[in-house]
Structures are given as structure tokens and as C-alpha cells.
Structure 1
Amino acid sequence: MRKKEKQVTFFLFSLPAVLCYGIFFILPLILGLYYSFTDWNGIAKGFQFIGMENYMKILRDRKSYSSILFTVKYAVLLSLLILLISLFLGLLLNQKVKGIKFIKTIYFFPAVMSPIIIGLIFNEIYYRALPALGKAAGIGILSKSLVSDTRTAIWAILIANIWQAVAIPTVIIIAGLQSISQELYEVAAIDGAGWWRRFLSITLPFLAPTLTIVLVLAVKDGFLVFDYILAITGGGPAGSTNSIGTFIYQTAFESFNYSYAVANSVVLFILIALFGFLQIRVMSLVEAKES
């Protein structure tokens, strides 16, 4: 009887969280999936069931197709750059040098700032500071705004995003590095292994699970990029930096085609799930091969 009472107590304590999760996450997900098969504009009371028409439209819509391609490209670049930069910074900040705690504190500061604020700051830098500096120094590539060129606009967004996004992955990597036994490095050094050999044979294999987490988080951030684009380029120039997120926003709240926007959201969900699964699968195979 006591065991049953405990189960009832645990159930009652978890019930509010379960209800909130169901109401605010599961229910909207189900309703959104349903609306993606309709022609609802988000305002009208009436709508019709149109089946897979919205999803077929995505295949024919050049703007939707280009936004998907940009998002995939952006997510791949962001995840690779965050992985490499945060790994480098993690190895650097893991060293025992004087003042390293102060450096870590200053370095982590961008992580607590709002992405939209960072986007607006970099927007001013790209439009005012860099062109003025480029003209004064005679540097042609900096004499005009990076966001005004379709070839450099994506890099302008990436720089702002990476400046903030590498902080938390670096902390995660530092925690992973500190969990590796120092005795392994000492034994390897006695055997004559250099820094690079110790890095390949000890650091990377033990850090693989941590790097998997960093990659999954970075890919998710890449696919969900919205604030930086909205603040820096607005999707321009000529729609070259329109991600799925900004395209969904424009479709739902500017064109009032809610059901089509929801269909694009479902596609975005599938892409994130697919890339996350592939990443975890590949890293699991790598870990199994190394062990």
C-alpha cells in the first residue's frame, strides 16, 4: 500500500509539468501538423483540407527551396566553425596560466547577451565602422558593407553568430578536457609521444561524446537562425540570406499564409531531426571504431 501511495504522490507532483508540456508543446505540434494540410490563413474562421498541397508547393517554390539550401549551408558552416574554434579555445583556456579565470569570465560575457542585441551591434559595425575603417586604411574589401554583397552577407551573419555561440561549447569542451585523467598524458609523454600524438590518441577519443553534444547544439542553432538575420540583413540582399526561419516569419505574418508557413516548419523539424540523427550515428560509429 505504501508503494502505491508513493506512486500516486509522484504522479501528482509530475502531473502539472506533464500538463504544461502537453498543452504548450505537444498540442501545438499536433495542431500545427493538422493546419499544414489546410489552407488556413491564420485569421479566418473557416478553412479547407487540401492534403499534401502545401508540401508539394514547397518543392515548386523557388523562395522556399533557396531558403532551405541557405539554411543547410549556414548550419553546416556554423557547426564546423563552432566545433573548430571552441575546440581550439577550450585547449587554450584549459591551460594553467595566471589570470585565466578572469579571461574565462570576459570571454563568456557574450553568451548572456540577447542575439537580437548582438545582431544590432554588428549591424552598426558593418554599416558604419568597417566601411569607414576600410576607406581610411585603403582596404577595398572593407570599404563597403559586408551585408550589401550577396557573397559576403552570409559571413557577416556567421561572424556575429559565432562571436556569441562559441562561449557555451567552449565551456562544455573545457569540462570534457578536465574529465580526462592526467595520468594518461604522463604515461604517453614517458613513452615519447608528442603533443599531436597525445591529442589524436587521448584527447580526441575521450572528447568524442562532448564534441557530439557540441555538434548537435550547433547544428540546431544553425537551422533555427532567425534573430541575427532579422537584425543584420533582414533576409537580403535580394533574399540571399533568407533562412527557413525568416521565410516562415514572412509567409505567416506578412503574407498571411499560415498553413504554408506551418508546412515549412514541419520540413525544418524533419531536417533538424535528420541531421541530429546522422551526427549522433556517425560519432557513435567513430567512438566504436576507436574503442
Structure 2
Amino acid sequence: MSIAILGGGAFGTALAIALSRDGSDITLWARDASDADRMQESRESGRAMPGFPLPPTLTVTPDFPSFDIAMVTVPAQRTRHFLAEYQSPLGGKTVVSCAKGIERGTGLGPVDVIHSVLPRSVAGCLTGPSFAIDIARGLPTALVLAMSDDAEHVQDTLTRAKLRIYRTSDVAGAQLGGALKNVIAIAAGIAIGASLGDSARASVIARGFAEMTRYAKAKGARTDTLQGLSGLGDLVLTCTSEKSRNFAAGVLIGQGNPLAEGITVEGLATAQAVADESHDLGVELPLIKAVAAISQGQLDISTAIETLLARPAGEE
């Protein structure tokens, strides 16, 4: 089965390196022709994640490749446009999204967006606790493949010695866990940036996980999925390391500093998408709503902290 990684960013590059390290033929598609050609000729990773040699069996190209399995590493808010742009070559193929986010305006996760745009394709998502640099370095990493069809075959195709792939049929739980943890990571970063301390961060993680579980359950997900790699595992990693873009963004927000331009912070858009839908679902999500309000400039951090601390402390 031929595999193509679509997207030459940090995660796409890391995944391509990891999958080709054992001698497998892997194609990495990068839209930027100059970057793709430079990587192919120099046999070094590109500017998104420099410093890694490319395995001999990894081909980097700006030409849209042929494949059996496509790993789409486009951010959640751009996934629909990307799939529509390449609808013809992607149609009827196995398409796995590596995005972790909820689409604004629809409330759909990446797999739902694939189904919407490519109804003939087999859709899935790859999620779980991982940083691109760890994957590229060949450090042990465990991820979750969520698919309702053909999951075991794709799982076997993607698994490597240092890249352990579990599978689940609970697509809703897996994609929601990966998306919601980004929002909580921003909240945890705000706690650290605002000098509230590690105890406050621990409270944010615990109460945030409760919100993740409530929302996912209301959306039809299994709670045990949230307790695994795609939920709790990814939450712990993302809330405790500044290698996480979402946590690092939260730290900057908590310090009152602007975010760097051009950096994708999936949790900001997801917070708003989830906050909007929570009203219809009747789910209480104070932390997530606070992140959404802060990101929209509707609430300052001091007021958000006072409001959260003033909430009644009922039975846990």
C-alpha cells in the first residue's frame, strides 16, 4: 500500500521521516515547490523543521502524488478547502487527517469534514500525544488511529518499531479528545503565564478533562476513549510542555503578550466552535468558554479568573 503525506509542515515532515526510516517508500507532498525541491536535492528536512536527514526511500515532491493512503497534515480550519481543492485525486481513497480541531461554523471534526467533502473515501484520523520533533528523532511514540472501516489494515501499514499505532472505532471520541485538549492546554498556559502556579495548572487540567468528557459524551463519544491516548494522554503532554503551540500560546496570553504571526494555534478556533455549540447541547463548559471569550477579546484574564473562582464548588 503506497502512502503519501500531504503537507510539508513540521508534523508532515516528521511523519514522513518516521514512516520511511525502515526502508518503506514514502512520498511527502509539499505545496511550496522551492521548499520541496530543496529538500529532495539536499536530502535534508525543510524550514518547517530543519536539521533532519531524509531517509533514502523518502521522496519529496511539489507534484500531487498517487497513493492508496493519504495522510493529510493540513490544519483543521483549512482541511475542508484543501479536500475540495484536491477532491478528484482524493476521492475513493483512504484519507486520514492528522489535524486536531473543530471546524468553525459547522462543529465538525476532521473525519466528519472528510465524509462531507469526500463521501466515497474511507476516512479516519491519527491522533494522540506526540510532538513532531520527537517523531522525527525516532523517539518512542504511541498514537491512535480512529476509523470505522479498514482500521486494522491501515494500522498495520502505519505501525513502526518506534511508532506504535493503536486503533479505535470511536471516531467521535478520538477526534474530540485531540481537539478539546488544545483548548485546555491554552487555559493551562494562561495559568502559568499569569503566575497562578502549578497547583492552578493541575486544577485546570483536571477540571478541563471533566469538560472534555462532558462535551464528548453529549456528542455521542465513549468516555473510555477520552481516558486513553487521544484524550487524557494528549492532554497531559500538551498542558505540561512549551513544545506545545497551544500551551505556549496560553503562556503568552497569560503574560499579556501578543501571539507570533503565522503560527497555527488550533485551540483558539476550536474554543469558539465548541462554545458556540455548547448552548444547543446544554453542556456546562466554563473553562472552554473562558478561553473562547479571552481569545475574542470579550473577557480579560483577571475577570476570567475571578469569575471561575466565584463559581459554586459543588460535589466533584
Highest CA radius of gyration, 1 or 2? 1
- What TM-score do the two structures reach when normalised by structure 1? 0.23
Structure with greater proportional strand content: 2
- Structure with bigger RCO (C-alpha 8 Å, 6+ apart): 1
Structure with greater proportional helix content: 1
